[in-house]
Amino acid sequence: MNKWHNPYRPVRTQVLDSVVETPRIKTLRLRPEEPIVFEAGQFVELTLPGFGEAPFTPSSRPSTHDELFLTVMKVGKVTDAVHRLEKGDTVGLRGPLGKGYPIESFKGREVLVVGGGCGFAPLRSLMYALMERSEDFKKLIFRGGCRTPADMVYREELASWAEREDLDIKLTVDVGDPSWKGHVGTVTTLLDGAGLDSADGIAIVCGPPTMMKFVTAQLVKMGFADDNIYLSMERNMSCGIGKCGHCRLGIYYVCKDGPVFPYGKVKGFPDLWA
């Protein structure tokens, strides 16, 4: 970043197309006029003229620089407008912002990734980054849980991951349906007696706050060290660059100091799971 770089200036970005993942979740394929080179876990601010800005973690390959995917759940004003975007529309992107996962420090260790709900979106880019260099890790494990089969994003892609020899993947739903032949139960039930390396392994957790709270408690009970558990935190954001204070979490700004934090750094903050 040179000294004239303006962190508030969005890069003009074209919507190339979009995929409907579930009735409330859509993935956009975007082409920024200037490449946005991000690390897994970092986020961008998406600007929709006339509606506002909102933060999203790219769900695409960090090693692909000319296109970027965002997987967006419809929850309010901006995300509603995101779901109405069409091929050829122009939006703005600011970023990359925040700190991503310290993947280098995971070398030689077992890496367990646990995702819930729309938490699969940021984890897809992390999984791409990990799988591109899977020989660097002792073992790669993915455990994912959704409310129902209809809520599961990237279903076909997840099925193709199950074919990989370098990944141990298990998925579950809270409530099954006739199409679902897999495990039924919360994602914590997939962690029971799973033979994980809790002594030296890394665990990464991303999903709705309640899911993160219970998964983290279970990992601690299993023996994972607080600093070996990485959480991806979400807070309401405005500037995205540590100036406005909207995203405060204890002594940190989630936008600048996170959004990825070792649990040991944020443990005990009263609003941690808000």
Residue nearest to ligand FAD (CB): 76
Give buried/exposed letters for 74-87 (b at 16+ CB in 10 A, else e).
beeebbebbeebee
d(CA 271, CA 241): 21
Rg (CA), the chain: 18
- Residues whose CB falls within 8 Å of the CB of residue 245, separated by 6 or more in sequence, listed in order: 253
Among 48, 73, 127, 215, binds ligand FAD (CB under 6 A): 73
In the complex, minimum distance from the CB of residue 47 to ligand FAD, in angstroms, rounded to a whole number: 12
250 near ligand FES (CB under 6 A): no
Strands (E), the chain: 11-22, 25-32, 43-48, 52-56, 68-73, 90-97, 110-116, 139-146, 168-173, 183-184, 202-206, 229-232, 248-249, 252-253, 260-262
In the complex, minimum distance from the CB of residue 184 to ligand FAD, in angstroms, rounded to a whole number: 25
d(CA 106, CA 164): 20
75 near ligand FAD (CB under 6 A): yes
Count of other CB atoms within 10 angstroms of residue 232: 25
Select from ligand FES, ligand FAD, none the partner in contact with residue 19, using the beta carbon and a kind-dependent cut-off of 5 to 8 Å: none
71 near ligand FAD (CB under 6 A): yes
Select from ligand FAD, ligand FES, none the partner in contact with residue 244, using the beta carbon and a kind-dependent cut-off of 5 to 8 Å: ligand FES
CA dist 254 to 43, 126, 133, 216, 229, Å?
A: 11, 19, 28, 19, 17
75 near ligand FES (CB under 6 A): no
* Interface positions, 89-148, toward ligand FES (CB under 6 A): none
237 near ligand FES (CB under 6 A): yes
Phi, psi (rounded to 5 degrees) for 191: -95, -10
Whose Cβ is closer to ligand FES: residue 100's or residue 116's? 100
* Interface positions, 197-256, toward ligand FAD (CB under 6 A): 234-237
- The binding track of 117-156 with respect to ligand FAD, each residue x by CB under 6 A or -, is -x--xx----------------------------------
Q: Could you tell me the two tokens for 32?
A: 């920024």
240 near ligand FES (CB under 6 A): yes
Provide the residue type at 28 as one letter: L
244 near ligand FES (CB under 6 A): yes
Taking a C-beta distance cutoff of 8 angstroms, is the pair 121, 43 a contact? no
CA dist 45 to 52, 91, 182, 241, Å?
A: 10, 11, 36, 10
Select from ligand FAD, ligand FES, none the partner in contact with residue 14, using the beta carbon and a kind-dependent cut-off of 5 to 8 Å: none
Considering only 11-19, 67-75, 129-137, 185-193, which stretch makes contact with ligand FAD by CB under 6 A? Answer: 67-75
**Residue numbers at the binding site for ligand FAD (CB under 6 A):** 43, 54-57, 71-73, 75-79, 118, 121-122, 234-237, 259
**Residue numbers at the binding site for ligand FES (CB under 6 A):** 237-240, 242-247, 253, 255
